[in-house]
């Protein structure tokens, strides 16, 4: 007997792909759950440091892809609260808002310079430029173009500072038309590649090691998407 096949279309099936409606719904629910009004500005939940920087970039992604001013306003409100909590100078010891972790500062500088590029708001660029310059000067302390992860912490360098510092320097070069930032990015990237990339047969495998101690000459070979992503 001959077998006949009949294909039926499920009208209720979820469409393959990512739609504008899905995007907008996701951001609406994210905002309702995590965007909290504070006495000064707004925060993502209770606020933080590098976690804030990553969440702020999510808001910038939404603004960049939709053009909706509500997301620019969200960023401004989040920035206002962050500055109120952490002040405006993060790299100077002894001042309110001091942060000893160079990667934290790099992540927040990325968020701020991206906000400038998307909105043209000058204070975002000023914050990014001032803190990146101060952070980079103190982190570039080994004489081999590798950056120190934690200020005054010894001989340790991490992918999580060299990577975002390279990214931020490129954004600053675009924002300021100052090509010295490209040179900063290039030397940091090449040092990171030389010291923390795994190679096989003369080619990088894609694995980026977590850290290296210049004193003990020891590696932490843990690899994560966090480091490889930057």
List, for residues 175-215, the tens digit of each pLDDT value.
999 999 999 999 999 999 999 999 999 999 999 999 999 99
Q: What CA dihedral angle connects 111, 115, 117 and 123, to 10 degrees? A: -100
φ and ψ at 156, to 5 degrees?
-90, 135
Confidence band for 18, pLDDT divided at 50, 70 and 90: confident
Distance CA 171, CA 117 (A): 9
pTM of the model: 0.91
Q: pLDDT tens-digit profile of 153-162? A: 999 999 999 9
Q: What percent of the chain has pLDDT over 90?
A: 87
Distance CA 126, CA 225 (A): 30
The pLDDT of residue 11: 67
Specify which residues 158 forms β-bridges with: 211
Residue 66 has pLDDT above 80, yes or no: yes
Distance CA 172, CA 177 (A): 8
């Amino acid at each position: 007997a001959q077998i006949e096949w009949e294909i039926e279309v499920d009208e209720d099936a979820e469409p393959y792909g990512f739609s504008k409606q899905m995007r907008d719904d996701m951001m609406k629910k994210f905002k309702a759950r995590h965007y909290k009004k504070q006495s000064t500005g707004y925060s993502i939940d209770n606020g933080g440091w590098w976690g804030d920087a990553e969440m702020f970039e999510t808001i910038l992604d939404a603004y960049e892809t939709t053009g909706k001013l509500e997301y620019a306003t969200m960023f401004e409100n989040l920035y206002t609260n962050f500055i109120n909590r952490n002040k405006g100078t993060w790299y100077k010891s002894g001042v309110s808002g001091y942060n000893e972790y160079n990667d934290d500062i790099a992540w927040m500088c990325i968020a701020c310079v991206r906000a400038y590029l998307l909105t043209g708001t000058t204070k975002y660029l000023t914050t990014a430029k001032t803190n990146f310059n101060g952070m980079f000067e103190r982190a570039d302390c080994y004489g081999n173009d590798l950056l120190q992860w934690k200020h005054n912490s010894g001989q340790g360098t991490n992918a999580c500072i060299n990577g975002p510092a390279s990214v931020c320097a490129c954004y600053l070069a675009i924002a300021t038309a100052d090509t010295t930032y490209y040179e900063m990015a290039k030397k940091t990237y090449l040092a990171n590649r030389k010291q923390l990339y795994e190679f096989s047969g003369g080619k990088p495998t894609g694995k980026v090691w977590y850290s290296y101690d210049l004193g003990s000459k020891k590696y932490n070979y843990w690899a994560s998407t966090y480091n490889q992503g930057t």
